[in-house]
Structure 1
Amino acid sequence: MRPIIATTCLLLCSTFTAVRAQTEQNGWVNRQLNRFFNDTTSAAEKSFRIYPTLGYAPETGIELGASSLWLFRAKGDSTNRLSEVQAFTFFTFKAQYGLWIDNAIYGDKDKWFFLGRTRIQRFPLLYYGIGQHTEGENPAVVDANYILLRQRVLRKISRNLFFGPEIDYQHLYSVDFNQPEEGEHHLLPAGSNGTTNLGFGAALVYDNRHNVLNVRKGWFGELSYLGYHPSFASDFQFGSVNLDVRAFHPVKKNNVLAWQVLGNFISGKVPFNQLALMGGDMMMRGYYQGRYRDKNMLAAQVEYRMLPFSFSKRFGATVFAGTAAVAPELKAFQLDKTQFAGGAGLRYLLFPKKDIFLRLDVGMTREGPGFYFFTGEAF
């Protein structure tokens, strides 16, 4: 996700006690604040929350939106894993809008696992060029409509091990590729006039996490392949191999040491919007998603989580650091072109009985900070 300044919910969290004291005579307001900040549902009971967001980015101006989170367990059984569906919608005063949906849904006894994401938006993308030598100033602004539908339908083949088909549909249309007013113009990349690609493949996933949004202990590993071909409604022919490994180690009470290794490896002719993208709200926080892009990317990060602090029931924090590099081919990775990012974040325990936190992260890079506000941890 692009860096934004999102303040609404954590400001509400930090002032909740004072507001509650001032609204004792207003029963309705008090009930709504209690409902939002004091979740009393059991671990097996469904929960649904909606909360406002406020953001700002130079290319969009003020951004207003709302996030929602639906939590449940199959058949209401507390022994089943916690499933989550997150939705985020926004609009700006420049006629830009978007709807994002992420899902991690487990069936009863883990027989099925549905893992995917949806993006429908009219939103400007910053384009700095392709490769590890791109400059951080004077990006092109690509104003376009964008649809992404990616879903894995996985069947348990043994304990914690899942396998199944994966589909990926990406459609970029009504594109305006706006060159920077200053500096050199960018060479128009493949797909700059719009592109549609439909990929099919398969994924092998190992997952023994019990709470996707806040993992206290466990492992997640995914190895997947997606192929795109003109005979299957694609404008380009290419293939991608993706590797994602995450581990979570408990340290003392309530503290967790987490790490992740990510690899994207693409061959063939690839449109610029489907190259491996560095940055965003999950990996290399502080960099704009797509600040660096190429056919191959290797990235890693580590994070120490205090959830919550030993002296607090609701507030916590994290510190994190990451490194990543992009290259046109595997043998072209260069150590001196590796990028680094680090930062810290605040946490607020929104669902105590489900162990779910709101997070506000500040990622720092050599090019400046990035701000991120979400429900659940970055990985």
Structure 2
Amino acid sequence: MIGYYPQQRAYADPRESFIDQHMPLSGSNYSSAEQYLEANGSSNWFDIKLEYALPWGATEAGGLVNYEIKNGLLVSAPSGGSEWNPLTTGASVLVLRQFNRYQSFEFENDKLDGAVHAIELGILYDNTDFPINPSYGSSQYLSISHDAGWLESDSQWSFINLDVSKYFSIGPSEYASQRVIALNFWTGYSPSWELEYNDNNDRRVTNSAPYNEGATLGGFYRMRGYDQNRFHDKAVIYGTAEYRYTLKANPIEDIRWLRFLHLDWFQLVGFVEAGRVAESYKTSELLSDIKYDYGVSIRAMMAGLVIRTDLAKSDEGTNVWIMVDHPF
């Protein structure tokens, strides 16, 4: 993706600047929503991902799993969820990703820019019945990312990530073909992240992931009531719960000129989220002054993809996000 954006925003401080000791770092948990950089600039990225399905469980016979669906719901055998055993159920996948980003902020008398050239190595165990739209089971993803300061990268950093989801089916009802409670927990830690101080005890962050990588909250995946990448720090904790109610009724099913959408169902969702970033991975810090938001969502299965529109409210405002896939 190569793009140039007007009024590009980053809740971050210039990397070389020391911040007054009495002022919170931009993007930290106690920072103001008015602490950001904004200017026209480029945002270009290029990712390469290799996934290897391990030869056991649902992928014992091959790397692909076939699913048969009717009206957007699974009718063939599920790939997982009946028990937690990677050797017999679910899919275990090794992930290798090389990702790159260049971003610039072109102010009237100055220009800030930076690049990322990093590698992520992870392992996923997806033990859900139907990964596109899970109704029961669980998934776990553990990974580590590292940027060694290659090429244009001017910082070395590392980040460890754990993402866990659990799904409970409570069955159909008079008006719903499927009702699901979905839970997600995410946490991460950057061992390379450090604070450097000058003679005035002012500080700046070194060896950290950029504001849009690593321990980051806010946007269309996590903490949807806040701006994109609103919070970031050394450590992060996040949890959410969703109630997904898939309607039996499909008001556009018989509208001939809309059949090209291949729309199988509509889904109503209510959700709550809580999260916190911090300068250390301490329970006393991560579990105090937690940020919260809540919202509703309308989702649809179109041509085998879940499309969602989320409306979320927090203490900093209300956001609307339009995105592909469930957030987890």
Alignment of 1:176 onto 2:106: yes
TM-score (structure 1 length as normaliser): 0.58
Aligned match of 1:298 in 237, 241, 248?
237
Which range moved further: 268-277 or 358-367? 268-277
Number of residue-to-residue matches in the alignment:
246
Specify which of 185, 203, 218 is matched with residue 261 of structure 1: 185
Q: CA deviation at 1:259?
A: 1.0
CA distance in 1, matches of 2:211, 2:235: 13
Q: 1:197 maps to what in 2? A: 116
Change in 2 beyond 3 A, CA 1:138/1:310: same
Alpha-carbon distance between aligned partners in 2 of 1:249 and 1:178, rounded to the nearest angstrom: 53
Asked whether the equivalents of residues 164 and 203 of structure 1 are also in contact (C-alpha less than 8 Å), the reply is: yes
Matches within 5 A, 1:360-375: 360-375=309-324
- Per-residue CA deviations over 1:113-153 (Å, capped at 9, x if unaligned) read xxxxxx53323124261311111236331432122333431
Do the aligned partners of 1:246 and 1:259 also contact (CA within 8 Å) in 2?
A: yes
Confirm or deny: 8 A CA contact 2:190 2:234 kept in the other structure: yes
Give the equivalent residue in structure 2 for 1:125.
9
How far apart are the structure 2 equivalents of 1:156 and 1:139? Answer: 41
Q: Secondary structure at the match of 1:208?
A: strand
The aligned counterpart of 1:107 is: none
Partner of 2:156 in structure 1? 237
Alignment of 1:10-21 (within 5 A): none
Is residue 350 of structure 1 aligned with residue 302 of structure 2?
A: yes
Residue 37 of structure 2 aligns with which residue? 140
Please say if 1:163 is aligned against 2:94: yes
Distance in 2 of aligned mates of 1:281 and 1:378: 7
Distance across 1 between alignment mates of 2:318 and 2:159? 31
Higher helix share: 1
| 1:344 CA displacement | 0.8
For the residue of structure 2 that corresponds to 1:333, the secondary structure is helix
User: What aligned pairs does 1:1-379 form with structure 2 within 5 A after superposition?
Assistant: 119-123=1-5, 124-127=8-11, 129-137=26-34, 139-157=36-54, 158-159=56-57, 160-173=91-104, 175-176=105-106, 193-209=112-128, 211-231=130-150, 234-253=153-172, 254-268=178-192, 269-270=207-208, 271-309=210-248, 314-331=265-282, 333-351=285-303, 354=304, 356-379=305-328
Shift of 1:235: 1.6
Moved more, 241-250 or 303-312: 303-312
Unaligned runs of at least 5 residues, structure 2: 13-25, 58-90, 173-177, 193-206, 254-264
CA distance in 2, matches of 1:275, 1:348: 30
1:346 is aligned with what amino acid? I
Mapped partners of 2:223, 2:317: distance in 1: 12
* One-letter identity of the residue aligned with 1:371: V
Distance of 1:210 and 1:148 partners within structure 2? 33
**What TM-score, normalized to structure 2?**
0.67
| Aligned residue identity for 1:363 | A
- Partner Cα separation in structure 2 for residue 178 and residue 272 of structure 1: 22
* C-alpha distance in 2 between matches for 1:141 and 1:150: 25
Cα deviation for residue 377 of structure 1 reads 2.0
Distance 2:179 2:226 in 1: 26
> Using the alignment, how far apart are the partners of 2:149 and 2:323 within structure 1?
37
Contact 1:152 1:203 in 2 (8 A): no
Letter in 2 for 1:361: D
Q: CA RMSD in A?
A: 2.8
Residue 224 of structure 1 and its aligned partner are, at CA, apart by 0.7
Q: Aligned partners of 1:286 and 1:154: how far apart in 2?
A: 32
Percent of residue pairs bearing the same amino acid type: 20
Structure 1 residue 310: Cα displacement: 6.7
Aligned partners of 2:120 and 2:236: how far apart in 1?
20
Specify the SS of the correspondent of 2:28.
coil
Aligned partners of 1:279 and 1:289 also within 8 Å:
yes
1:215-264 CA-partner distances (Å, limit 9, x unpaired) = 22332211111111135653211111111111222111211111111122
